Amino acid sequence: MTEQKAIIDTGWNFDNSYARLPEIFFTRLNPTPVRSPKLIILNNSLAASLGLNAQALECNDSVAVFAGNRIPEGALPLAQAYAGHQFGHFTMLGDGRALLIGEQITPQGERVDIQLKGSGRTPYSRGGDGRAALGPMLREYIISEAMHALGIATTRSLAVVTTGEPVIRETELPGAILTRVAASHLRVGTFQYVSRWGTVDDLRVLADYTLQRHYPEVDADENRYLSLLQEVIKRQAVLIAKWQLVGFIHGVMNTDNMAISGETIDYGPCAFMDAYDPATVFSSIDIHGRYAYGNQPHIAAWNLARFAETLLPLLHEDEEQAVKLAEDEISNFAESFHRNWLTGMRAKLGIFNEEPEDESLIEGLLSMMQKYRADYTNTFRALTFDEKPEDMALFGTAEFAQWHEQWKERLSRQQEPKDSSQQLMRSRNPALIPRNHRVEEALEAAVERGDYSVMERLLDVLSRPYAHSPEQADYCTPAAPSNRPYRTFCGT
């Protein structure tokens, strides 16, 4: 009776449309139970928006759900099959340490995936243990929630639990499970998998499913698979432009880590850039800089070309025609990205209208920022408040003074008053980003000392990046210069 009540009160409202797809798309499987689950963090506001009762989610029965020890009513856990190009090489992958437990239908009627990450081995685990360590799961929690607050489409993080079991990496680490919420987990890699190992009918089923789930507005009478390609390209152009505009580096833009929904997905070795430099790379395994900041738009186009290839049999019965259609669309990505980026950059500089010289004004600033190794976020913050921080070399230069003149002139040529420009800049230039040293500090306190207060405070300030409030000041400073570059690690 009490158990029944707990389930009802929690607000889970599952449907399982993915489980109704052809069998090759997934493997039905329950999570592997863990020894002693403990709730570390719960996202109350996200829970509420999903129609879940945060209080009920804290009870043991719910924590058991987050740990995979208990399957909530209506859930139908499964591991999704997918492939992907990892650093350019095609491989069969799939959920090796995650399970889709079901799709929550929210009170607004939206459908979102609820996924447990770190829930045990699956048929797609290859050599892996199917588990995750606490540090990386909290890292995903922090950065995905920061991205959401920045206004960037992303998967969300509902909860992290520890398992009470160690995971063996380079050392023994506390094991954890992240509950991830996503518009869906359909990836470019899902299409690659079906295209390689399924039939054309399977592919059509997948494309129709995707259209229905993410692009219901697409006209069924037109060439709807071409429309699918166009819409995915559009959303990626918007997404990647937003990444560039805040200095986000995904770190591992493999095709399995590109979501068809247009959300940012798979927070592994990602990090935010401090000093502006297009060559910035944080990931320890990205030796050649394939996924460097400045390369992200190019890689997105490459990934989208892989997506387009999978759709060829659906685009046109004549292969040559199909290739031509796909190529035309892919070549639109660069322009679409550029348009989004330019509009975003204008806004970051308080510019409302368009002038042909805007791009050279922007490029002029960026090249000075690179030359003087100016902190990306803080440069735009200083411009927003028309400050010239003494500790930033850029602002003391004659070059900058000249640029500043040009910029002021440019602003005076638009109708909007100065106030409106500043308003616009405040809303587009975050006061703060999840600074690498702040994230590390929070993770260290959590993992080494079981002190979650550092992380909670960080999450709190990151939840209002455009507030520009005094309490944020401490979090705006870049890390002290160090002789070792910041490095992030993958797949942990």
What is the contact surface with ligand AMP in residues (CB under 6 A)? 93-97, 124-125, 128-131, 252, 256-257, 266, 268, 490-491
Spatial contact of 143 and 101, defined as CB atoms under 8 Å apart = no
Buried b (16+ CB within 10 A) or exposed e, 190-208: bbbbbbeebeeebbebbbe
Spatial contact of 42 and 49, defined as CB atoms under 8 Å apart = no
How far apart are the C-alpha atoms of 288 and 140, rounded to whole Å?
A: 24
Q: What is the dihedral of CA 314, 316, 319, 323, to 10 degrees?
A: -90
Q: Which is nearer to ligand AMP, 90 or 475 (CB)?
A: 90
Contact of residue 195 among ligand AMP, Mg ion, none (CB under 5-8 Å per partner type)? none
Closest CA to 165 of 252, 51, 43, 38: 38
Q: Which is nearer to Mg ion, 265 or 314 (CB)?
A: 265
Minimum CB separation from ligand AMP for residue 25, in Å?
A: 15
Minimum CB separation from ligand AMP for residue 426, in Å?
A: 35
Residue 443 corresponds to which tokens in the numbers above? Answer: 């993770």
Spatial contact of 467 and 153, defined as CB atoms under 8 Å apart = no
Minimum CB separation from ligand AMP for residue 293, in Å?
A: 19
Contact of residue 274 among ligand AMP, Mg ion, none (CB under 5-8 Å per partner type)? none
> 319-348 and 358-371 helices cross at what angle (nearest 10)?
70
Minimum CB separation from ligand AMP for residue 111, in Å?
A: 23
* Summary count for the chain: helices (H), strands (E): 16, 13
Spatial contact of 22 and 41, defined as CB atoms under 8 Å apart = no
Verify binding: residue 155, Mg ion, rule CB under 5 A: no
Q: Which is nearer to ligand AMP, 102 or 120 (CB)?
A: 120
**In what helix (H) or strand (E) does residue 488 lie, and over which residues does it extend?**
none
Residue 133: strand pairing partners: 175
Enumerate the active-site residues: 256
H helices of 389-468, in order, are 398-412, 418-428, 436-449, 453-462
Q: Which residue has the CB atom at the shortest distance from ligand AMP? A: 128
Residues with Cβ within 8 Å of 97's Cβ and at least 6 positions away in sequence, in order, are 117, 118, 119, 120, 121, 122, 125, 128, 129, 130, 131, 132
Q: Which is nearer to Mg ion, 256 or 286 (CB)?
A: 256
Question: What's the alpha-carbon Rg for the chain, to the nearest Å?
Answer: 23
The CA–CA distances, whole Å, from 227 to 174, 191, 219, 314, 450 equal 46, 16, 8, 11, 49
How far apart are the C-alpha atoms of 49 and 36, rounded to whole Å?
A: 28
Q: Which is nearer to ligand AMP, 186 or 458 (CB)?
A: 186
Q: Which is nearer to ligand AMP, 169 or 404 (CB)?
A: 169
Minimum CB separation from ligand AMP for residue 166, in Å?
A: 13
Minimum CB separation from ligand AMP for residue 297, in Å?
A: 20
The CA–CA distances, whole Å, from 444 to 25, 200, 271, 447, 456 equal 39, 49, 17, 5, 13
Minimum CB separation from Mg ion for residue 262, in Å?
A: 16
Contact of residue 166 among ligand AMP, Mg ion, none (CB under 5-8 Å per partner type)? none
Q: Which is nearer to Mg ion, 98 or 383 (CB)?
A: 98
Contact of residue 438 among ligand AMP, Mg ion, none (CB under 5-8 Å per partner type)? none
Verify binding: residue 257, Mg ion, rule CB under 5 A: yes
Minimum CB separation from ligand AMP for residue 172, in Å?
A: 14
Contact of residue 243 among ligand AMP, Mg ion, none (CB under 5-8 Å per partner type)? none
> 319-348 and 296-315 helices cross at what angle (nearest 10)?
150
**In what helix (H) or strand (E) does residue 284 lie, and over which residues does it extend?**
none
Contact of residue 286 among ligand AMP, Mg ion, none (CB under 5-8 Å per partner type)? none
Q: Contact with Mg ion (CB under 5 A): which of 145, 266, 286, 375?
A: 266
Q: Which is nearer to ligand AMP, 82 or 337 (CB)?
A: 82
Q: Which residue has the CB atom at the shortest distance from Mg ion? A: 266
Minimum CB separation from Mg ion for residue 96, in Å?
A: 9
Interface stretch with Mg ion, choices 103-111, 251-259, 381-389, 395-403 (CB under 5 A): 251-259
Contact of residue 394 among Mg ion, ligand AMP, none (CB under 5-8 Å per partner type)? none
Q: Which is nearer to ligand AMP, 154 or 336 (CB)?
A: 154
Interaction site with Mg ion (CB under 5 A) = 256-257, 266
